[in-house]
Structure 1
């Protein structure tokens, strides 16, 4: 049952003028990272691997994990509010299908609008869905990071390798004052 399904064909809301991009920290050391996983297979292991790499290589202070219960629903407002209070930056993903890619982008835009830098991760096969949602949310060109499709069938070592490969772009997206081009 869907209570708040995101419809990428509905167009932007009347108030969607495109939220401002949240200010970026210069570095990630000492910061708390939010990890927003969807229920797709390997989304949590991917984000956990990125969280571990951020701690090891960039000195982040810790992570706050949450898992959405639906691939299509937006992040619940209470969860968004909690992560905004507790986290300095947020990673969202992994968009490994059309619906979850669109939802991940909508969530990223919501965090940016709330003042928290967000990095969304989608697999490269779903750029069209991710870009469509960004346009429909009033944020054309919204920057996100892609990893090769598919992610779901990979073993643990391959998931960690994908996370390692995505890390430089994720760090750039979270810390760059100038947005990287949508990928």
Structure 2
């Protein structure tokens, strides 16, 4: 007689997948520390910095801190998640421009929300369904994330600035803040 085999969750997630509650939203971004999580995809840092510039024009944010994940195709590691949650008031993570990185970017946002840090995840519109599938797998099917027009990786500075101008009002909306 054989024993039962343990099945592993291929997403690498655990019991945290049962919480679908958003972190409390700030009333304003004035003076808050904004975490920018780069997933290592081309132009991720540039897009995040362009959004930072837009936020500085529209609000009175405090400092920003840039962090970089080890690998784009998996969720943020616990150690980095804990560090960012301790150091930042809100987090913006980007950019999902393929299937696995879009799913991981959405998972990152959900993980920050579950740590009590409001988060905005940004994927490209071509991989929106991948992000939506990850939100469902994470037990947070209503998690709102943003979709930038594809592509992002090949954009020049002007194209990134335009994407940031388009995304920033929704970044503020998702965070619950009016400019």
Structure 1-normalised TM-score?
Answer: 0.87
1:173 matched to 2:174? The reply is yes
The residue aligned with 1:71 is 72
The residue aligned with 1:50 is 51
Residue pairs, 1:140-151, within 5 angstroms: 140-151=141-152
User: Which structure 2 segments of 5+ residues have no match?
Assistant: 1-8
Shift of 1:161: 1.0
Q: How many residues align?
A: 169
1:127 matched to 2:135? The reply is no
Q: Distance in 1 between matches of 2:149 and 2:161?
A: 13
Q: Distance in 1 between matches of 2:140 and 2:14?
A: 12
1:30 matched to 2:31? The reply is yes
The residue aligned with 2:19 is 18
1:72–1:167: structure 2 CA closer, same or farther, 3 Å change rule? Answer: same
Shift of 1:32: 0.7
The residue aligned with 2:3 is none
Shift of 1:50: 0.7
1:157–1:143: structure 2 CA closer, same or farther, 3 Å change rule? Answer: same
The residue aligned with 2:115 is 114
Shift of 1:71: 1.1
Shift of 1:103: 0.2
Which runs of at least 4 in structure 1 moved beyond 6 Å after TM superposition?
none
Q: Distance in 1 between matches of 2:145 and 2:44?
A: 16
Q: Distance in 2 between matches of 1:134 and 1:146?
A: 14
Q: Distance in 2 between matches of 1:93 and 1:147?
A: 10
Residue pairs, 1:86-125, within 5 angstroms: 86-125=87-126
